[in-house]
Amino acid sequence: MDRVALPVFGFEVSRIGFGCSQLMGSGTRIERQALLATAFDEGVTHFDVAPLYGLGYAEKELGEFIKRLRDKVTVTTKFGILPQPLATAATIRMASRLGASRFAARFDAFGHNRRAHRFAPQDAQASLESSLRRLKSDYIDILLLHDCGLQDAREDGLVQFLESSKTAGKIRAYGVATGIGEVLEIERTLPTLTRIVQIENSLLRQNVQRLQRTGQATLITHRSLSESYRLVGGWLRANPEQRARWSVLIGEDVGQPQCLSRIMLEYAARANGKGTILFSTRDHARVRPNIRALTENSFPESNWPDIESMALRSAPQIELSESQNA
């Protein structure tokens, strides 16, 4: 597995990372531990988690896995956003199966205890200490502001807290994990916080190219499949003429789920050529194929400009189709 250097912070992470947003939807504890072990055995040594994932239980599960491997793996966790429903088994499963953002949106839609954004230094410290306990570790490799806006990033004393935590050895690096619009705002006024940026990037939502400082920031991209895969796949099934056009360009039937997922994963790897790409799955059988799609080029190099352009041209239609069906 290739490595990605974080030159400002002096360490490396694996080129492919495993996202734990769906981890608590993966059956029993034995099955979840086996899923993490499968990713590790395939060369993945970077794991991404957050207090939001599984309502805190994903951090505990990952902590159990890494406690004997701590010097062999790197971990990203986050702070600043956490819904606080009654943590029943049912809500934990729902959070994990929907994914963090879809669960939070659905939770808010029902009018339950809306997500609290807490980025004050004392809240960041409390979240960090809780994460350290759940992860059974005395340090976090990368700590990110989760779903933050510019005002959150400007919280008085926050950067000083992050720097002091780094000096104390509790974290090794810090950055932001939020939407592309928020990243661009923070990047202009608080570049210190955007030395590591985690954003959504997919064939449908090509956000990497919108960043202004990609040469200076370490990029971690995620959601290359997820909702984008569902939207693109549904649109192609509903529009056979578009499916035929895409298939001619790609040289395979893009209506086949495995073909579409390979295209979207390979795009993610190409778009973030010098950073880390996260993937998530609850299915052991998908770990190896996903890693292969992210590390091997199966489609002709010459086709990619046309594939990316075709997806960009189609994106407004795909998003409109989804809004009409909502």
Mean pLDDT computed over 281-288: 93
3 state DSSP class of 274: coil
Residue 144 inside a domain? The answer is yes
Query: pLDDT, tens digit, for every residue of 170-182?
Result: 999 999 999 999 9
Q: What is the mean pLDDT of residues 64-90?
A: 82
Q: Tell me what percent of the residues of the chain surpass a pLDDT of 90.
A: 76
The domain that holds 152 is classified in CATH as 3.20.20.100
- pLDDT over 80 at 212, yes or no: no
DSSP per-residue letters across 191-229: GGGGSEEEEE--SSS--GGG-S-TTTSEEEEE-SSHHHH
Side chain identity at residue 131, one-letter code: S
pLDDT at 99 over 80: no
In a domain, 129, yes or no: yes
pLDDT of 95: 53
Whether residue 106 lies inside any domain: the answer is: yes
Question: pLDDT band for position 112 (50/70/90)?
Answer: very low
CB 103 within 8 A of CB 95: yes
pLDDT of residue 299: 86
Question: Is it the case that residue 215 has pLDDT exceeding 80?
Answer: no
- Identify the residue whose tokens are 């994106």: 315
Chain center to CA of 76: 10
Domain around 283: 3-225+268-300
Looking at 18-22, 191-195, 258-262, 301-305, which range is the least confident one?
A: 301-305
In-domain check, residue 237: no
- The predicted pLDDT at position 84 comes to 59
> Is 145 contained in some domain?
yes
The domain tally of the chain equals: 1
Would 310 be classed as within a structural domain? no
Rounded mean pLDDT, 190-214: 89
Structural domain contains residue 73: yes
Give CA–CA dist 72/195, Å, rounded.
23
Strands (DSSP E) found in the chain = 3-6, 11-14, 16-19, 46-48, 74-79, 81-82, 116-117, 140-146, 171-177, 196-200, 218-222, 276-279
Beta bridge partners of 221: 199, 277
Residue 236, domain member (yes or no): no
The pLDDT score that the predictor gives to residue 321 is 83
